[in-house]
């Protein structure tokens, strides 16, 4: 491998509220951070619509990516002393850690669902396509960009380096849990990361945890569990996400039926047509999306303008626990009768709409568990050793809520119809 | 409402009973790659394409009382069996929709071993590569599974036969 980029003349540091300092000693990493594709991550929030619930959650995918890089760098510093670690892999892992989210777009989750795009494919395209990131990586050797892309896609032959970025206990999760807890202001996302890093051990099949560090890992597992219910799946955040998704659906539907928008759709046109290019994709960020939503508030189409008003002005849908299938269909017909389009105003949101992998051992070969390394060299799956983890892994992980606009229901003039709707919603 | 959940119930119903979460994961992935209307997002994991979204959806269907899950111990590990129960049958008869040509594909997949479906789904995951490159890739990412040349050829033939069934 031709390594044309070496060490920086002097170390660069970024101040970081989670890790205190992020240290950059390699010219490669410094140059990657400076690329336009990576700088774009400053304009994409890490937690999408969560800022509408937790106002502090304004942190970006840029700061998270730096955090994942920093944790990986610290792990490698510890691994350098181990015989099972190959120091030649260092820059490959660090590049993959830094770039693991480079393909994320604004409000990725909703965009992926509505437009069928995949941020992982865009990560690959950014790393291998005609981009600044690709040109920097290429300076490390012709094969280097492909290797970085394979580590991120989890298809690289080296399971250990894949597991550092993506496994049940990896640099990505450790950073986002700590960072999201810090910026949302909640107190339950914390765990002893220093301890976990010290008890990680490299093996050919991935990272294992020295069994003396089990209690630190228990805290980490508990943190994942609590952050999901308290932050990631917060019903108010989900309400904003539901509205965002419906805005995108409505705009796409209008476009496909030949509706004339007041504002030129230059950024959205190829998305609506299903042939978005890398160039178009990279030009999207949250600022652009808000610009369109502000404009769509003035559209003639009342559904699109209403949904945009709700999103921008935070007039969100109310929610209730999911009603039965039969009641759901009944509600849908009542909404239609009342002139409220159920396709846009009556929405079920399930836990599977925001898949989040709680830790559980699963069945053989379903997915890789967290393994503990016993003093005698035996490997044991975490929940077989930890009562705390075993208890959590059996907990309910599913939830369904029904979202609706209470203000529109209150405004229904037909009082009988209105009470029928409210009667079902209040059951 | 719950259209994507209903499609999963339909697949399990067509299969009759599916033994093993890994097998069910691969069956839905292969069905998706054959252009049946499954929307679950898959990522590559150690054991091939895997969807956390599907895992949760199945758990939701179990909690809602439409799918029956049986956990059993097989040589020290847990294994799960899935079948549509009476409530699920009622749900399908009221709200379900037929997915044309799905039944024969699903029944065929269900007759295969989960090891073979892991290979088939992995081959399909790398379908943009040339055949020789796919074989090389499978040997790299699945080195531990030690798939033989014959098994790989069989996987390619099997994919062709499935594609033939849906045309």
Q: Which two tokens stand for residue A295?
A: 């404009």
Smallest Cα–Cα separation from B108: which of B7, B13, B27, B167? B27
pLDDT at residue A320 in the model: 93
- How many residues appear in chain B? 167
Higher pLDDT residue, B27 or A187?
Answer: B27
The Cα A218–Cα A192 span in angstroms is 10
Closest-approach residue (CA) in chain A for B60:
A398
pLDDT at residue B45 in the model: 85
Q: What is the 3-state secondary structure (H, E, C) of A376-400?
A: CCCEEEHHHHCHHHHHHHCCCCCCE
The Cα A246–Cα A345 span in angstroms is 9
The Cα A142–Cα A147 span in angstroms is 10
Rounded average pLDDT over A257-282: 91
Domains of chain A: 7-232 (1.10.3210.10), 235-352+399-425 (1.20.1250.30)
The Cα A129–Cα A135 span in angstroms is 9
Q: How far is A382 from chain B (nearest CA, A)?
A: 14
A396/B63 CB distance under 8 A: yes
Closest-approach residue (CA) in chain B for A348:
B1
Q: What is the pLDDT of residues A122-159, one digit of tens each?
A: 999 999 999 999 999 999 999 999 999 999 999 998 98
Q: How many Cα atoms within 13 Å fall on the side-chain side of residue A370?
A: 28
Closest-approach residue (CA) in chain B for A364:
B77
Looking at beta carbons, which residues of chain A come within 8 Å of B22? 363-366
Q: Which two tokens stand for residue A367?
A: 């997915």
Looking at beta carbons, which residues of chain A come within 8 Å of B60? 350-352, 398, 400
Looking at beta carbons, which residues of chain B come within 8 Å of A351? 56, 60
Question: Please, which pLDDT band fits residue A364 given cuts at 50, 70 and 90?
Answer: low
Q: Which DSSP letter does residue A187 get? A: S
pLDDT at A189 over 60: yes
Q: Which two tokens stand for residue A49?
A: 């619509």
Q: What is the pLDDT of residues B61-88, one digit of tens each?
A: 998 899 999 988 887 777 899 999 999 9
Long-range contacts: B138-142, Cβ < 8 Å, 24+?
Answer: B140/A157, B141/A155, B141/A157, B141/B44, B142/B48, B142/B118
Q: Are strands A206-210 and A371-373 parallel, antiparallel or unpaired?
A: parallel
Looking at beta carbons, which residues of chain A come within 8 Å of B79? 363-364
DSSP symbols for A166-177:
SSSS-HHHHHHH
The Cα A166–Cα A176 span in angstroms is 13
Closest-approach residue (CA) in chain A for B143:
A157
The Cα A108–Cα A357 span in angstroms is 18
Distances (CA, A) of A363 to A149, A153, A203, A217, A385: 29, 23, 22, 21, 16
Q: Report how far apart the first and last C-alpha atoms of chain A are (Å, whole number).
A: 66
Rounded average pLDDT over A30-35: 98
CA A283 from centre of chain: 19
pLDDT at residue A358 in the model: 66
Rounded average pLDDT over A250-277: 92
Residues from A in contact with B at Cβ < 8 Å: 112-113, 118, 120, 153-155, 157, 159, 325, 328-329, 332, 348, 350-352, 355-357, 361-368, 396-398, 400
- Domains of chain B, by residue range, sit at 3-166
A355/B2 CB distance under 8 A: no
pLDDT at A92 over 60: yes
B44/A154 CB distance under 8 A: yes
Q: What is the pLDDT of residues A295-330, one digit of tens each?
A: 999 999 999 999 999 999 999 999 998 777 888 889
SS3 call for A109: helix
Rounded average pLDDT over A289-296: 96
Smallest Cα–Cα separation from A197: which of A164, A225, A222, A167? A164
Q: Where are the beta strands (DSSP E) in A134-247?
A: 200-203, 206-210
Q: How far is A363 from chain B (nearest CA, A)?
A: 5
Q: Which two tokens stand for residue A275?
A: 């042939």
SS3 call for A416: helix
**Cβ burial B78-98 (10 Å sphere, 16+ → b, else e):** ebbebbbeeebeebbeebbee
**Cβ burial A149-163 (10 Å sphere, 16+ → b, else e):** bbbbbbbbebbbbbb
Q: Which helix (H) or strand (E) holds A25?
A: strand A20-26
Residue pair A399/A228 in contact by the 8 Å Cβ criterion? no
Smallest Cα–Cα separation from B21: which of B98, B104, B77? B77
Question: Please, which pLDDT band fits residue A362 given cuts at 50, 70 and 90?
Answer: low
Mutate to test the interface with A, among B26, B55, B95, B126 (most CBs of A within 10 A): B55
pLDDT at residue A3 in the model: 63
Q: Which residues pair with A23 in a beta bridge?
A: A13
B60/A351 CB distance under 8 A: yes
CA A315 from centre of chain: 24
> Quick check: pTM over 0.80?
yes
Question: Please, which pLDDT band fits residue A384 given cuts at 50, 70 and 90?
Answer: confident
Q: How many separate helices (H) and strands (E) can be counted in chain B?
A: 8, 5
Q: What is the mean pLDDT of chain A?
A: 92
Q: How far is B81 from chain A (nearest CA, A)?
A: 11
Closest-approach residue (CA) in chain A for B6:
A325
Looking at beta carbons, which residues of chain A come within 8 Å of B127? none
Q: What is the ipTM of this complex?
A: 0.85
CA A41 from centre of chain: 13
What are the φ and ψ backbone dihedral angles of B147, each rounded to 5 degrees?
A: -70, 135
SS3 call for A89: helix
Higher pLDDT residue, A47 or B96?
Answer: A47
pLDDT at A342 over 90: yes
Q: How many separate helices (H) and strands (E) can be counted in chain A?
A: 23, 9
- How many residues appear in chain A? 427
Smallest Cα–Cα separation from A267: which of A239, A286, A250, A247? A286
The Cα A243–Cα A257 span in angstroms is 21
Question: Please, which pLDDT band fits residue A354 given cuts at 50, 70 and 90?
Answer: confident
The Cα A96–Cα A90 span in angstroms is 10
pLDDT at A34 over 80: yes
Higher pLDDT residue, B11 or B95?
Answer: B11
Q: Within a 10 A sphere around the Cβ of A295, how many other Cβ atoms?
A: 16
Residues from B in contact with A at Cβ < 8 Å: 1-2, 5, 20-22, 25, 39, 41, 43-47, 50-57, 59-60, 63, 74, 77-80, 91, 94-95, 114, 118, 126, 137, 140-141, 143
Mutate to test the interface with A, among B46, B48, B66, B145 (most CBs of A within 10 A): B46
Q: Which DSSP letter does residue A231 get? A: I
Q: Are strands A400-404 and B18-19 parallel, antiparallel or unpaired?
A: unpaired
Q: Which two tokens stand for residue A262?
A: 């007041």
Smallest Cα–Cα separation from A353: which of A405, A406, A401? A401
């Amino acid at each position: 491998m031709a390594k044309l980029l070496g060490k920086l003349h002097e170390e660069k540091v970024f101040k970081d509220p989670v890790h205190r300092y992020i240290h950059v000693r390699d010219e490669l990493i410094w140059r990657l951070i400076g690329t336009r594709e990576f700088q774009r991550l400053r304009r994409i929030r890490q937690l999408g619509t969560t800022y509408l619930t937790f106002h502090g959650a304004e942190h970006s995918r840029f700061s998270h990516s730096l955090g994942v890089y920093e944790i990986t760098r610290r792990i490698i510093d510890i691994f350098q002393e181990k015989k099972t670690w190959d120091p030649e892999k260092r820059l490959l892992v660090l590049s993959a850690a830094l770039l693991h989210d480079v393909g994320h777009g604004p409000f990725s989750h909703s965009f992926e669902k509505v437009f069928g795009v995949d941020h992982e494919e865009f990560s690959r395209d950014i790393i291998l396509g005609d981009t600044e990131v690709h040109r920097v990586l290429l300076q490390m050797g012709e094969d280097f960009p492909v290797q970085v892309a394979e580590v991120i896609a989890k298809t690289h032959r080296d399971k250990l380096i894949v597991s550092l970025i993506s496994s049940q206990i990896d640099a990505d999760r450790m950073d986002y849990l700590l960072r999201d807890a810090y910026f949302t202001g909640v107190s339950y996302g914390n765990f002893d990361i220093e301890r976990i890093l010290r008890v990680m051990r490299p093996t050919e099949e991935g990272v294992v945890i020295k069994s003396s560090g089990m209690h630190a890992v228990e805290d980490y597992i508990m943190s994942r569990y609590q952050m999901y219910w308290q932050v990631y799946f917060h019903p108010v955040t989900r309400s904003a996400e539901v509205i965002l998704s419906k805005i995108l659906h409505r705009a796409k539907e209008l476009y496909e039926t030949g509706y004339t928008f007041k504002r030129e759709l230059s950024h959205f046109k190829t998305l609506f047509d299903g042939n978005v290019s890398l160039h178009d994709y990279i030009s999207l960020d949250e600022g652009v999306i808000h610009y369109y939503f502000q404009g769509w508030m003035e559209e003639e189409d009342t559904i699109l303008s209403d949904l945009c008003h709700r999103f921008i002005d935070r007039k969100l849908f109310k929610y209730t626990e999911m009603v039965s299938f039969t009641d759901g269909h009944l509600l849908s017909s009542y909404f239609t009768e009342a002139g409220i389009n159920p396709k846009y105003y009556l929405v079920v949101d399930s836990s599977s709409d925001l898949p989040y992998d709680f830790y559980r051992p699963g069945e053989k070969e379903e997915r890789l568990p967290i393994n503990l390394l016993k003093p005698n060299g035996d490997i044991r799956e975490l929940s077989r050793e930890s009562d705390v983890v075993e208890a959590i892994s059996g907990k309910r992980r599913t939830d369904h809520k029904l979202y609706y606009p209470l203000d529109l229901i209150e405004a229904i003039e037909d009082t009988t119809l209105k009470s029928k709707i409210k009667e079902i919603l209040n059951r | 409402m719950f259209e994507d959940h209903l499609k999963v119930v339909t697949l399990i119903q067509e299969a009759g009973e599916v033994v093993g979460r890994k097998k069910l994961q691969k069956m839905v992935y292969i069905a998706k790659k054959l252009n049946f209307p499954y929307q679950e997002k898959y990522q590559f994991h150690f054991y091939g394409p895997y969807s956390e979204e599907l895992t949760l959806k199945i758990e939701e269907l179990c909690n809602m009382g439409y799918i029956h899950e049986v956990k059993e111990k097989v040589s020290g590990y847990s294994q799960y069996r899935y079948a549509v129960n009476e409530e699920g049958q009622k749900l399908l008869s009221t709200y379900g929709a037929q997915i044309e040509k799905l039944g024969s594909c699903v029944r065929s997949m269900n007759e295969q071993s989960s090891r073979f479906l892991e290979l088939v789904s992995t081959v399909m995951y790398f379908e943009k590569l040339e055949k020789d490159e796919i074989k090389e890739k499978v040997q790299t990412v699945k080195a531990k599974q030690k798939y033989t040349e014959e098994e790989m050829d069989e996987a390619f033939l099997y994919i062709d036969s499935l594609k033939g069934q849906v045309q």
